[in-house]
Structure 1
Amino acid sequence: MPDEIKAEVRGQLSTNYNLEDLDEESLTYVNRLFAERYKQWKSDLHHHFQAYDDPQVALQEGCSKELEGREDSWEWLCAHFQAPEFVVFFLIIFV
Structure 2
Amino acid sequence: MQWKSWKVMPDEIKMEVRSQWSMNYNLEDLNEESLAYVNRLFGERYKQWKSDLHHHFQAFDDPQVPLQDSCPKELEGQEDSWAWL
TM over 0.5: yes
The Cα offsets for residues 28-75 of structure 1, whole Å up to 9 and x where unpaired, read as 110011001101100000000001111111210120122223222212
Cα root mean square deviation, aligned? 1.8
Structure 1: distance between partners of 2:70 and 2:9: 27
- For these two proteins, the number of residue pairs brought into alignment is 76
* TM-score, normalising length: structure 2: 0.73
Does residue 19 in structure 1 map to residue 27 in structure 2? yes
Larger helix fraction of residues: 1
Q: Show structure 1 runs of 4+ deviating over 4 A.
A: none
| Map 1:52-91 → 2, pairs under 5 A | 52-77=60-85
The Cα offsets for residues 10-32 of structure 1, whole Å up to 9 and x where unpaired, read as 24234x24534100111011001
Structure 1: distance between partners of 2:16 and 2:66: 26
- Stretches of structure 1 that go unaligned for 5 or more consecutive residues are 78-95
Other-structure match for 1:80 = none
Q: Is the 8 A contact 1:6 1:34 kept in 2?
A: no
- Select 2:9's aligned residue among 3, 10, 13: 3
Structure 1: distance between partners of 2:82 and 2:17: 17
Higher Cα Rg: structure 1 or 2? 1
Q: Is the 8 A contact 1:59 1:74 kept in 2?
A: yes
Other-structure match for 1:38 = 46
Higher RCO (C-alpha under 8 Å, 6+ residues apart): 2
How much identity, in percent, do the aligned residues show?
76
